[in-house]
Amino acid sequence: MEESISRDLVEVLRGEASTELNPYGYSPLSLAYLGDSVMDLLVKSYFVMHTNMQTYKYHKEVTNIVKAKYQAEFVDRMFDSFSEDEQDVFKRGRNVKSHSKAKNATTGEYRKATGLEAVYGYLYLKGDIARLHALTDDMIRGYLASKHS
């Protein structure tokens, strides 16, 4: 069983997910739960692979990108470029009732961030790694541009 689990994960990471999986069938909060980790891993991977800094500096940069406030700004900028399915998953994630509250964001920002994380979870389960990379690249580019302006 363990071999099968790790093989499934490798297939998803390579964009070779099973066509039997229906990522749209998962609850928005399940997608957001997974998407939060996927986004975090992709942003961390970018910084480790493209920079060489102390871990506390990695943490500072990554945290600035994956926080709800920045995710909400990213969605406001990019929503129109989302596919119809991505927009639908986003809206489902944004509109779901959650018992969690944001620490440093408004309720609206937190809900948008949850919607974006749901999109990340959806794309991950769908095996659309190219789209995940494109979104993450846009997110990081926007962050770096705003940092230097």
Q: What is the pLDDT of residues 25-34, one digit of tens each?
A: 899 999 999 9
Catalytic residue among 36, 88, 128, 138: 36
Q: What is the pLDDT of residue 15?
A: 58
Q: Which domains does the chain have, with CATH numbers?
A: 2-147 (1.10.1520.10)
- pLDDT exceeds cutoff 60 at 62: yes
Q: What is the pLDDT of residue 149?
A: 76
Please give the distance of CA 43 from its chain centroid, rounded to a whole number. 9
Q: How confident is the model at residue 1 (pLDDT cuts 50, 70, 90)?
A: very low
CA torsion sign, 35 to 138 to 148 to 52? positive
- CB-CB contact of 117 with 93 (8 Å): yes
Q: What is the pLDDT of residue 86?
A: 96
Mean pLDDT score of the chain: 88
* 80 counts as catalytic: no
CA torsion sign, 132 to 13 to 24 to 65? negative
Q: How confident is the model at residue 45 (pLDDT cuts 50, 70, 90)?
A: very high
